[in-house]
Chains A and B, each alone.
Chain A
Amino acid sequence: MLTYVLKRVISIATILVVLSVLIFGITQTLPGSVARVIAGQFATPDMIAAIEVKLGLNDPFYVQYGRWAAGLLHGDLGRSLITERPIGPVLWAALCNSAILAVVAFVLVTVLGIGLGVLSAVRQNGFLDHSVSMFTFLGISVPEFFWGIVLILVFARWLNWLPAGGASEPDAGLGRLVSHIVLPSLTLAFALIAHVSRMTRSSMVGVLRSQYVRHARAKGMSERTVIMRHALPNALLPTITVLAIDVGWLIGGVVVTETVFAYPGLGRALIFAIERHDLPMIQASTLVIAAIYCCANLVADLLYAFFNPKIRYG
């Protein structure tokens, strides 16, 4: 187990380094010279040259990368080209906002997704199974942003129960905070609940057909024991992997959902940065998001190894 943990950690660290090179490389050196992009459409060659000098864009790649990476390791994420202010605090605030959304959505996904999946598998082909099946089918077919817009239409415009977007002020009460979070989290969670519950269902159905479940029944164990103590622990193992993949979807969904709801999180910060060609901001936020994803995967891998006796006890 220890070997496995060490291997995974080293692997993730290496990947992060490679990622940072990729991110930096793609944004800094690809066509459409950075300086030209910053200077805008009407720039003269002199202005472009001046920007290049100012940002050190004429240095070789590894020097530019080295500067950036060194800054990162010191906690300096650079300065926004647009606001000229340090990126660090801005991203941190955005991260906290996104985290609230993500955590709420994740809890919903885990509880509802796994719960519905297990229930439909246990009552296979029953009424519950078919209804859940239809619901999840919609969930994987309707685009996220459309679903968000429909929710806005219904709950914010027509029923006027919830705000259409944005976030509450930091010192406003819990009620206001929650009211701003409900719609975005639901939007975020919808597709994922569908996804997770389908995979859980299929994993559970497979396990219920297995030889060892049949044997548990042959030993006369009660149906409840068979499901809870024999089937479930084995069916949930692959679900851990699925949840890890879904963190990725979640992050992707965060970008879109925050745009729909104008929610001031990490995703919206990234989109703004892209729209305004704010290069350092793009680089920093992309790296942060990718790093979070990697760590989530690492945690999932370790959890899986912990719960799987074959890996844990070699």
Chain B
Amino acid sequence: MSIDPLLRVESLCVSYASLNGNVPALRDVSFSVARGEALALVGESGSGKSTVALAILGLLGSEATVGGGRILYAGADLARLPAEELGRLRGNRLSTVFQDPFATLNPSMPIGMQVAEPLMRHKAMPRQEALARAVAALAEVGLSRPAELAKAYPHQLSGGMQQRVLIASALICEPDLIILDEPTTALDVTIEAQILDLLDTLRRRRNLAMLFITHNLGVVNRICDRTCVLYAGSVLEEGPKDLTLHRPLHPYTQGLLRAVPQLGPRRRARLRPIPGHLPEAGMLPKGCVFHPRCSHALGECREDEQLLRPLEGGMVRCWRADSLPRAEDGGATAVDAHAAPTRNVLLDVQDLRKTYALGRKIRFGGPHLVRVERSEVRAVDGVSLTIRAGEVLGLAGESGSGKSTLGRCLVRLIQTSGGMIRFDGEDVTDAGGAALHEFRRDVQIVFQNPASSLNPRRRVGATIGRSLDLLGNIPRQDRQPRIDALLEAVGLPAHFANRFPHQLSGGERQRVSIARALASNPKFIVCDEPVSALDVSVQATVLNLLADLRDRLQLAYLFISHDLSAVAHIADRIAVMYAGAICEEGPTDAVLSRPNHPYTEALLSAVPTVNDATKEDSRIRLRDGANASSHTPTGCRFHPRCPRKIGPICEQKVPPVVSPSEGHWISCHLPVEELSLPAADVKNREMA
């Protein structure tokens, strides 16, 4: 690595004009990226990390002003460079990959053209040659049949493929530095793992510098060398990755690490959320920007502006940093004690199916000359499971696996296409009228998106009250006390009943959703990705609340999430779902360790963790494939992507169920002994 950094940001200040005056978005942000180095810019929402990227590129809108500081690149100050010259640098020496690949690609332009464009512009390459190079670039990022793909349109590609296309277009002019703004956040975990591997390989091959913006500390651990932690527009800590992630300097970073569930032996450890909430953009606290939430705050923290100062090889903005305890496991954290329930079966699902008709296409050919093809998607394809009272069943899977559909079927929000649901002994599959009403009392659902789970035009109290009125059986005089009690049960003060949703934060709204679900005294709650849309520091609060309620009220949950760490934290049993069916199910400990279904194995190896010590070779690589296609493969659903595929038997015969231990079963043709060995030790088949 060279001595002079490639990019150096010095004391950058950016503010936005808004109705409330000039609001600072970045204050005194400084960091540097050396040639060939990967720097992670870590922060939650509102931290300003995207603003940093846009400022470097000169793409801030007209509402933003760069107030001070410099952005030094190759000797020039980008903040003061004329637009023309900045345009020549962008895409050429400095390129970008944004978050949502589908929105970032032009829907009306073929892929090949979008990748070739920068060449034509910056290297004055003729069109044909540029297109040929584009095809080569597509191959380099691991896309198969690149020549065909170059003529396709973005909507014909999957998310992972789209992101690879973006990476190809970012690298085609051989830049020095690439800025990536949450490039894998919108992708499935297994695809994310592939993209991260790809980025890592490309970086080493080309000695590329990376500015990697993310909120996921596991991803930071996987791919970056140094970390820079951003909070409310200020850099709080900067340093080598090992320092920041394993012996963090700043209380905020420490808090973040404690608040995030981690796969591993400490997965059940009680999470410690950071108290308080992110400051409003225009109302930053005086003195240290983090002090209102900091458990170590003293008088000086409230008064004096803190400066970045070096400590142990990194930089930190906290004058107390060297005197604070820094063990990663800050104090003894109680392991969540939770007796495995052995009570009666509450929910019994047999062979549940849900099929969606996709529409008809008219095709020519066949015996009658014109054929009408009906395509359908089997979102849930023969799922059977049981849940006992007080038990948490975690449902893990990626997008398109059908887990959300399954959850909604269980709550009878969606009409099933086949199979049976038995609740508390009664068959409720087609129940209506009074029986359905009873069912709704006992079974409720909590949704994912706090912005959409509450009616914006009704006060919190009215929303909860409506549920009480419909399902609660409460006499008039008990109504208000009951609403207060419900709010209290979720940790909110009673006067919140008068607030509108927009006056609450995301975590608070989610808690109101939970209170609403509790209004009818249910026995079973389906939690559909309840924390996925929340900030990292807030997720812990809701997870803890769910765990507490489970213990206090003997609730059973179906906890649906794509985040395996969250599932592992709270679930007693885990079911792994793929393409509409469950491929593995068992007690959490059993599912998290070998033997596993090949898909579970791939999932576990793909999840980026902070403590990841696995070597690259043992990482399972899955081929890209559409998860829910209208052509469900015959035999085992997973065979098109399975790294352990045996051969034709996987394509033709539905796999049997094998049971390595009590209560744990796996659906695979391979014998248990082979599934117990790591994939790397097994002879790999040819992968296309």
Least distance between B101 CB and chain A CB atoms (Å) = 10
Known contacts A221-B121, A310-B155, A313-B156; A234/B107 CB under 8 A: yes
**For chain A residues 220-252, which have a beta carbon within 8 Å of chain B?**
220-222, 225, 229-230, 233-234, 237
Docked pose: A231 CA to B219 CA in angstroms: 34
- A218-B108 in contact (CB<8A): no
Residues of A within 8 A of B96 (CB): 215, 218-219
Most buried by B among A214, A218, A230, A307: A218
Interface presence of B527 (CB below 8 A):
no
Interface presence of B498 (CB below 8 A):
no
- B89-A217 in contact (CB<8A): no
Known contacts A212-B103, A212-B106, A229-B109; A219/B117 CB under 8 A: yes
Residue of chain B at shortest CB distance from A215: B104
Residues of A within 8 A of B107 (CB): 212, 234, 309-310
Interface presence of A211 (CB below 8 A):
yes
Interface presence of A29 (CB below 8 A):
no
Least distance between A4 CB and chain B CB atoms (Å) = 10
- A234-B106 in contact (CB<8A): yes
| B117 in complex: contacting residue of A6, A221, A237, CB < 8 Å | A221
Least distance between A258 CB and chain B CB atoms (Å) = 39
| A220 in complex: contacting residue of B109, B121, B152, CB < 8 Å | B121
Known contacts A212-B104, A218-B95; A6/B362 CB under 8 A: yes
| A225 in complex: contacting residue of B92, B103, B121, CB < 8 Å | B121
- A230-B109 in contact (CB<8A): yes
Residue of chain B at shortest CB distance from A213: B106
Interface presence of A210 (CB below 8 A):
yes
Residue of chain A at shortest CB distance from B113: A229
Interface of B is mostly: mixed
Least distance between B57 CB and chain A CB atoms (Å) = 6
Docked pose: A310 CA to B105 CA in angstroms: 13
Docked pose: A38 CA to B162 CA in angstroms: 69
- A214-B59 in contact (CB<8A): yes
- A217-B59 in contact (CB<8A): yes
Residues of B within 8 A of A210 (CB): 103
- B106-A217 in contact (CB<8A): no
Docked pose: A287 CA to B500 CA in angstroms: 54
Question: Interface 1/0s, chain B 522-536, versus A by CB < 8 A?
Answer: 000000000000000
**For chain B residues 82-111, which have a beta carbon within 8 Å of chain A?**
87-92, 95-96, 98, 100, 103-109
Least distance between A217 CB and chain B CB atoms (Å) = 6
Interface presence of A41 (CB below 8 A):
no
Docked pose: A225 CA to B100 CA in angstroms: 22
Least distance between A169 CB and chain B CB atoms (Å) = 49
Interface presence of B343 (CB below 8 A):
no
Question: Interface 1/0s, chain B 492-508, versus A by CB < 8 A?
Answer: 00000000000000000
- B100-A220 in contact (CB<8A): no
> How many of B's residues come within 8 Å of A, CB to CB?
31
Q: Known pairs A217-B90, A310-B153. 17 more at Cβ < 8 A?
A: A212-B104, A218-B57, A219-B90, A219-B95, A219-B96, A220-B89, A220-B92, A220-B118, A220-B121, A220-B122, A221-B87, A222-B87, A233-B109, A234-B107, A237-B108, A307-B108, A310-B155
Interface presence of B361 (CB below 8 A):
yes
Docked pose: A230 CA to B106 CA in angstroms: 7
Residues of B within 8 A of A229 (CB): 109
Docked pose: A291 CA to B87 CA in angstroms: 52
Interface presence of A128 (CB below 8 A):
no
Docked pose: A211 CA to B106 CA in angstroms: 9
Known contacts A212-B107, A229-B109; A309/B89 CB under 8 A: no
Most buried by B among A2, A212, A233, A308: A212
Residues of A within 8 A of B360 (CB): 3
| A3 in complex: contacting residue of B98, B100, B361, CB < 8 Å | B361
Residues of B within 8 A of A39 (CB): none
Interface presence of B169 (CB below 8 A):
yes
**For chain B residues 337-372, which have a beta carbon within 8 Å of chain A?**
360-362
- B98-A211 in contact (CB<8A): yes
Docked pose: A219 CA to B156 CA in angstroms: 22
Residues of B within 8 A of A308 (CB): 108
28 sample A-B contacts, Cβ–Cβ < 8 Å, listed by A number: A3-B360, A6-B362, A211-B98, A215-B104, A216-B106, A217-B59, A218-B57, A218-B59, A218-B91, A218-B95, A218-B96, A218-B98, A219-B90, A219-B96, A219-B117, A219-B118, A220-B87, A220-B90, A220-B91, A221-B91, A221-B117, A222-B87, A233-B109, A309-B107, A310-B153, A313-B153, A313-B155, A313-B156
Docked pose: A6 CA to B88 CA in angstroms: 48
Going nearest first, the 4 A-B pairs with the smallest beta carbon separation are: A220-B91, A219-B91, A220-B90, A211-B103
- A215-B153 in contact (CB<8A): no
Docked pose: A171 CA to B87 CA in angstroms: 60
- A215-B98 in contact (CB<8A): yes
Least distance between A126 CB and chain B CB atoms (Å) = 13
- B88-A220 in contact (CB<8A): yes
Most buried by B among A229, A233, A309: A309
Least distance between B272 CB and chain A CB atoms (Å) = 36
| A234 in complex: contacting residue of B95, B98, B108, B152, CB < 8 Å | B108
Question: Interface 1/0s, chain A 302-314, versus B by CB < 8 A?
Answer: 0000011110010
Docked pose: A240 CA to B41 CA in angstroms: 44
Docked pose: A201 CA to B402 CA in angstroms: 41
Question: Interface 1/0s, chain B 154-181, versus A by CB < 8 A?
Answer: 0110000000000001000000000000
Residues of A within 8 A of B89 (CB): 220
Docked pose: A220 CA to B122 CA in angstroms: 8
Residues of A within 8 A of B105 (CB): 212, 215
- A309-B59 in contact (CB<8A): no
- A222-B103 in contact (CB<8A): no
- A309-B57 in contact (CB<8A): no
**For chain B residues 139-161, which have a beta carbon within 8 Å of chain A?**
152-153, 155-156
Docked pose: A229 CA to B113 CA in angstroms: 11
Residues of A within 8 A of B57 (CB): 218
Residues of B within 8 A of A6 (CB): 362
Least distance between A135 CB and chain B CB atoms (Å) = 25
Least distance between A118 CB and chain B CB atoms (Å) = 16
- A309-B153 in contact (CB<8A): yes
Docked pose: A229 CA to B116 CA in angstroms: 14
Residues of B within 8 A of A310 (CB): 107, 153, 155
Docked pose: A158 CA to B312 CA in angstroms: 90
Question: Interface 1/0s, chain A 151-189, versus B by CB < 8 A?
Answer: 000000000000000000000000000000000000000
Residue of chain A at shortest CB distance from B156: A313
Residue of chain B at shortest CB distance from A124: B62
**For chain A residues 264-313, which have a beta carbon within 8 Å of chain B?**
307-310, 313
Known contacts A217-B90, A220-B121; A2/B362 CB under 8 A: yes
Docked pose: A218 CA to B94 CA in angstroms: 9
Residues of A within 8 A of B108 (CB): 233-234, 237, 307-309
Docked pose: A98 CA to B91 CA in angstroms: 53
Docked pose: A214 CA to B169 CA in angstroms: 14
Docked pose: A221 CA to B100 CA in angstroms: 20
